[in-house]
Amino acid sequence: MKTNEFYIKRCLELAANGLGTTYPNPLVGCVIVYNDRIIGEGWHIKAGDDHAEVRAINSVKDQSLLKKSILYVTLEPCSHYGKTPPCSDLIIEKKIPKIVIGTLDPFAKVAGMGIKKLLAAKRSVTVGVCEEACEELNKRFFTFHRKQRPFVILKWAETTHGFIAPTEQQKGDIFWITNAYSQQLVHKWRSEEQAILVGTQTALKDNPKLNVRHYEGKNPTRVVIDRALKLPSSLALVDTSQPTIIFHDHKLTKASQYNLSFEALDFERNLPEQILSSLYEKGLQSVIIEGGAMTIQSFIDHELWDEARVFIGKNEIKDGLKGPVLKQKATRNEWLEGDQLNYFQND
């Protein structure tokens, strides 16, 4: 006989299919089991569409089996009316007797109310199966609701000697430390997050597009730090092809336009905190900080980061700009055709 953990792990596999497409909703997977056999499954694809539980229930061919089945789901079923009706109501309506849940929902409009509704309907409810894995899957959603800020990913590439760029670099001339496989992976990451941030010097020197042209998916919102509003309109970052936020000094003013908004911050205060607070207010659940070294280091120094992904490339620089410094040790690493990729967690 298969365990609760077995079926919740299948739910996790299903839920992961929605990474990058469900915002602002969480990733959720669901399976329905009758006599130790999966008879229905589903996952949440995008906001406004059916939730995982609805998809799983609708996929069951013989609906009469539902009243004898167990519903497994990674996250507590919702109990409120949003863009769709409450999943907990549908579970009760279909007379599903037993529900196994990975973890509670931190969203204030749910937060235990879904479970309370199921228990009030005299359903058997088990909570906390593979809880750590279920929270890891929705680390962006959980961080957003628990810490009132986006999930922060730091990303950079450096040589084996710790350089991230040559000392002398011409404007728009990028020295690639990593290979094409690593570069494509970065574009995949961009498609999974809601925002991507760079500082003034990176914008000026590299003239990045910060899109997902090498991978299929939605472009993130671009975020640029430009204290003195000195970035020229010729840069790709201000071409209005995708939503872009430019943070500048509060002593200056600049009118916003289509897909290009200007927001004033006090640069004498904790800048990373102000930036994350603004992104939170805009409903952005995650952000990749891609450069430069000073910008990334400022988030490190203020302990405002959750995960770092650092490439060590084969291409070397004799003399250059040093990369950011982390005090943590890598939690895991992998190789991509000669490039080493190290992952760090800020616990």
Instruction: State yes or no: is 53 an active-site residue.
Output: yes
87 assigned ligand-binding residue: yes
52 assigned ligand-binding residue: no
CB 220 within 8 A of CB 195: yes
CB 75 within 8 A of CB 44: no
157 assigned ligand-binding residue: yes
176 assigned ligand-binding residue: yes
131 assigned ligand-binding residue: no
- Amino acid 204 reads L
183 assigned ligand-binding residue: no
156 assigned ligand-binding residue: no
Catalytic residue among 5, 13, 53, 216: 53
213 assigned ligand-binding residue: yes
231 assigned ligand-binding residue: no
297 assigned ligand-binding residue: yes
184 assigned ligand-binding residue: no
295 assigned ligand-binding residue: yes
123 assigned ligand-binding residue: no
Alpha-carbon span 289 to 292, nearest angstrom: 8
User: Which residue from 288, 278, 285 is spatially nearest to 246, judged by alpha carbons?
Assistant: 278
CB 32 within 8 A of CB 69: yes
294 assigned ligand-binding residue: yes
Residue 162 DSSP symbol: S
Alpha-carbon span 53 to 322, nearest angstrom: 49
Alpha-carbon span 228 to 202, nearest angstrom: 15
162 assigned ligand-binding residue: no
Long-range contacts of 222-226 (CB under 8 A, 24+ apart): 222/195, 222/196, 222/197, 223/195, 223/196, 223/197, 223/198, 223/247, 223/275, 223/279, 223/287, 224/197, 224/198, 224/199, 224/200, 225/197, 225/198, 225/199, 225/200, 225/271, 225/275, 225/295, 226/200
Sheet containing 260-265, strands listed edge to edge, beginning at the edge strand earlier in sequence = 260-265, 244-249, 221-225, 195-198, 286-291, 151-158, 307-312, 339-345, 332-336
190 assigned ligand-binding residue: yes
Helix (H, G, I), strand (E, B) or coil at 96: coil
Q: Which two tokens stand for residue 249?
A: 């000094």
121 assigned ligand-binding residue: no
Binding residues: 51, 78, 87, 157, 176, 190, 202, 206, 210, 213, 290, 292-298
Which positions are annotated as active-site residues? 53
- Which residues sit in the known binding site for substrate? 190, 206, 210, 213, 290
Annotated binding site for NADP(+): 157, 176, 202, 292-298
Binding-site sequence positions for Zn(2+) = 51, 78, 87
